[in-house]
Amino acid sequence: MSLDGRGSALPEAEYEQLKSDVDAWVRGPGEAWAERIEASGEVPEELWTELKEHGFLSLAAPVELGGRGLSFVQWMGLMEIFSRSHASVRMIVHVVNGTWRAMNPFANEAQRDRFIKPSVAGDIKVAFTLTEPGNGTGADITSTVRREGDTYYLTGRKHLITFGVRCDYWLLFARLEGSTGKHGTVALLVDRHAPGATVIDTSETMGVRGTDHAELVFADTPVPVANRLGEEGEGLAVALGGFLTPSRISVAMSCVGLAERAQELAVEYALRRVTFGKQLAERQAIAFQIAENEADIEAAKALVLHAAEQWQEGRETASALSSMAKMTAVDMLTRVTDKALQVHGGLGYWKTQTIERVYRDARAQRFEEGTNEIQKTVVARDVFRRAAVKESK
């Protein structure tokens, strides 16, 4: 079995048909769902069911886990299309099609049958649970567990946890009581309804309306040792190892898809809107903004696909490239959505316009899988490391 989903691909004709099917859903039912979500502020369970029934939650995983068996580059092509839809749709397919990557390399067969295959199938929801309110998202985590026989007892806090309210399990990262650094960390699948767990709904966000987020408080919450992925000391390896790089590339591609949607809306409006007897598209100031957007999108997309290819091939360069792709795509999305909104003039400020939603949603990717400041740190460290290696030769 391919543990990380790099080693398979759909035949080209089958893949092109799948892309066409996804695009048709995004432009049809997806738009209807977008209007419903924006009106209610909630993602109904029926949407999850519809995505499951279309097979959209199990696209990226290997066939052996119940997935469609796309290559990673193929999956990025679909991520690009899904990201033109409502941000909550994008968030669901991104998370469900990615969480298995963290779990699978460290799972035993019983855990694959109990957690991973049902997650890929869309039968259970698993929420990635790393971030804490009082520190960062790495070796400085402070949530702790103490072990008594076959049970861990969990104490601590987590926040900004996507799908943390409606999930079935939290894929949660903590440290052994009294330990420091990454070597004391553990990865646990914690039952959403375990005693001693308090869930605070924090879903009121600027954009990505309808996606639930949670703050979590644990007080001696029991977790079976059988729910631990990997060994004690491998918690951060589960959280960051084979998961973070492809997830950053996926978020970067979501920036490309959303930017393409913003550009599409701007072009449509520029062709439709007439001032003083001329289309906006005929005015050089508008045309130049559209041209800049198009070049910006294509440049970012090329880098994202390069990073995706490098990761798919198992290249050492993939990690730094994923950070380059994400920081480049995030900045591109900011520029493109700002110009697209400007093309709409004052009308773009109204919630009746799709561009208003796209503009709000575009802010979310700036902190997903690490801010640009984090990405720059990763890239700079890689640049200096390579320079030092070269100098030592």
**Active centre residues (catalytic):** 369
Q: Are 164 and 170 in contact (CB under 8 A)?
A: yes
CA torsion, ordered 366, 347, 82, 88, to nearest 10 deg? 60
Q: What are the two backbone dihedrals, phi and then psi, of residue 54, each rounded to the nearest 5 degrees?
A: -80, -5
CB-based burial of residue 20 (10 Å sphere; 0-12 exposed, 13-18 middle, 19+ buried)? Answer: exposed
DSSP 206-256: SSSTB--EEEEEEEEEEEEGGGEES-TT-HHHHHHTTTHHHHHHHHHHHHH
What is the tally of helices (H) and strands (E) in the chain? 13, 10
Q: How far apart are CA 95 and CA 238, in angstroms?
A: 15
Beta carbons within 8 Å of 8's beta carbon, 6+ residues apart: 2, 62, 63, 69, 70, 71
Q: How far apart are CA 358 and CA 341, in angstroms?
A: 9
Q: How far apart are CA 246 and CA 331, in angstroms?
A: 19
Length of the chain: 393
Q: Where are the beta strands (DSSP E) in the chain?
A: 126-129, 144-148, 151-162, 169-176, 185-191, 197-201, 213-224, 228-229, 274-275, 278-279
Tokens found for residue 67: 């997935």
Q: Are 187 and 172 in contact (CB under 8 A)?
A: yes
Q: How far apart are CA 212 and CA 208, in angstroms?
A: 9
